[in-house]
Each structure stands twice: as C-alpha cells, then as structure tokens.
A = this chain, B = another copy of it.
Amino acid sequence: MELINDLNWRYAVKQYSDELVSEDKIDEIVAAINLSASSCGIQPYRLFVITNRELRQKLGEGSFNAQIHASSHLLVFAALNEVTSEYITDYVAMMEQKRNLESGSLGGLKDMIISHFSAQTPEQHALWSDKQAYIGLGTALIAAAAVKVDSTPMEGFDAKRFNEMLGLSEKGLHASVILSLGYRDAANDYLASMPKVRLSIDEFSTKIG
C-alpha cells in the first residue's frame, strides 16, 4: 500500500532547503491531525503552527535541533495540563450539538469521563494528554509524507521556554512534542541517503495463535 512507501520515504530530516511548504499542504496536514483518534474522543491537545523564524530562533535557543528554526514550519503539540470537569462538559456539549442530540442526552458519557479523571492527579492528566498528542504526531508524520513534505519529530527542546514564549501555561497547556516541516536538502543531509533501520518483523512482533 501507498502508506508503506510513504513511511519508507520519510526520515528525520537534519538539513532543510530554503523552500517553503504551501499553506494548502499545511492545512491538509493540520486537518489530518485533527481527525486523529484520542482516548474518550476528547482531543486533549492543541496545535500551534509557527512560521515566524525569529520566534522559532528564540524558541530553539540552547537546543541541538537547528530544525526548530531552519525549516519551513514548526508544529507544536500542546497538551492539556489538566483534564477538568469543565473541559469535559464543554466537549460533550459540543458532541451533542454536532450529533443533533438533545442537550443532556450524553450525560451518562460525560459523568463517566468526569468520574474517570476525578480519580487522577493533574500530573496523570498531563501524561495521558501527552500520549494522545503522540497519536496525533503519528498522523502528522504520515500526512506530511503523503503530500511529500519532509519532517523532523523532536523531543529535544526547552519545554519551559516554549510554554512561556507561546503563552501555553496561561492557556492550561504545555508543549508535548514538536515537528518541523519543510523540504530536505538531500545533498547536505548525511541522513538522506542512509538506509532506514528497523527491527526485523520477527524481532518486532510476535503472533499468538
């Protein structure tokens, strides 16, 4: 399937060319991420799409990942610090509206989700939200490859710096993982021509019949 080709085509770009990704392609990638699954279906993260290079230079200060600024776009996956009852209530109300259901008809679902998260600490909420963002990252990597846009997923960044400079903390969010987008400079990227390394299928997976 095409997906296998796309996954083989992509790699974590180290060196980008100056070519910019069109906004049409960015919008397609963002739309795909927004369609990703999340546990309980409540999308506990938001996406910031940054083009401003000066801002990205400041965000990346001290990071070994030059791709934070030396790329076309930067996506910041920002997860919820806390899954509050208010957030769940609002989200479920939106579900009812979009499904043309009477207000309150998903009350059972709402109560179940609220009771689930009430038993957890904010730290657990944040970790859970991070994991959902990583499903979105999985989608983003594939969506980018599908429109032949290169990318680099990165954890090596100063999250505190991102949270402050992007005003994430005051929105109840924190930077979870980031992804640069652009076009590979194959001639100057040592990794561009390297074979992809993966475990053999037998090492990676086990069938239990």
Interface residues of A (CB under 8 A from B): 1-4, 7-8, 10, 12, 27-28, 30-37, 39, 41, 43, 46-52, 55, 94-95, 98-99, 127, 130-132, 134-139, 141-143, 146-147, 153, 155, 166, 177, 194-199, 201, 204-209
Contact = CB atoms under 8 A, between A and B. Distances in A.
The oligomer's copy count stands at 2
21 contacts: A1-B32, A2-B2, A3-B143, A3-B146, A7-B35, A10-B37, A12-B41, A27-B201, A33-B205, A35-B198, A41-B197, A46-B204, A50-B208, A52-B208, A98-B195, A98-B197, A135-B135, A135-B153, A137-B138, A138-B141, A139-B141
A1 B3 CA distance: 12
B37 A207 contact: no
Given A142-B142, A146-B1, A146-B2, A48 B208 contact: yes
A207 B153 CA distance: 19
A61 B147 CA distance: 43
Contact of A205 (B49, B134, B142): B49
Contacts of A142: 3, 138-139, 142
Contacts of A177: 131
A196 B207 CA distance: 33
Nearest to A26: B207
A196 to B, nearest CB: 7
List the 10 shortest-distance A-B pairs measured between CB atoms, nearest first.
A138-B138, A7-B35, A134-B134, A47-B205, A135-B138, A50-B208, A95-B197, A34-B204, A49-B207, A131-B134
Contact of A51 (B10, B137, B205, B209): B209
Contacts of A39: 153, 155
A32 to B, nearest CB: 6
